[in-house]
Amino acid sequence: MSLDSFVLSLIEDPADHQVLLYVESDSVLYNPRTRVAYPVKGSIPVLLESETRPATEDEHQRWTQPGIGRATGRPSAS
């Protein structure tokens, strides 16, 4: 199940308070700066450090390709 746009706009990494990438196909919220993946179980993002896992190099390459992940957080005002 996909995360709602409103929910995505509220999510940030609990450790560094920056945006995450939502990779719906793999049910993860990914921090490319720290290479840590948070699981999304059903439609519930699990943003607990104890539930994270490191991303493999292949996952990092795939998840950071343009068009794969969707950025979380509110769009910045320009």
On the question of pLDDT at 74 being above 90, the answer is no
Whether 54 and 36 have beta carbons less than 8 Å apart is answered as yes
Amino acid, single-letter form, for residue 25: S
Q: 73 vs 1, which has greater pLDDT?
A: 73
**What is the rounded distance in angstroms from the CA atom of residue 40 to the CA atom of residue 43?**
6
The mean per-residue pLDDT over the stretch 58-73 comes to: 96
Domain boundaries, given as residue ranges, for the chain: 5-71
Q: Model confidence over 15-48: pLDDT tens digits?
A: 999 999 999 999 999 999 999 999 999 999 999 9
On the question of pLDDT at 76 being above 70, the answer is no
- Secondary-structure class of domain 5-71 per CATH: mainly beta
Whether 13 and 20 have beta carbons less than 8 Å apart is answered as yes
47: its two tokens = 């943003």
**What is the rounded distance in angstroms from the CA atom of residue 10 to the CA atom of residue 73?**
5
Q: What is the value of pTM for the model shown? A: 0.90
Q: How high is the pLDDT of residue 2? A: 86
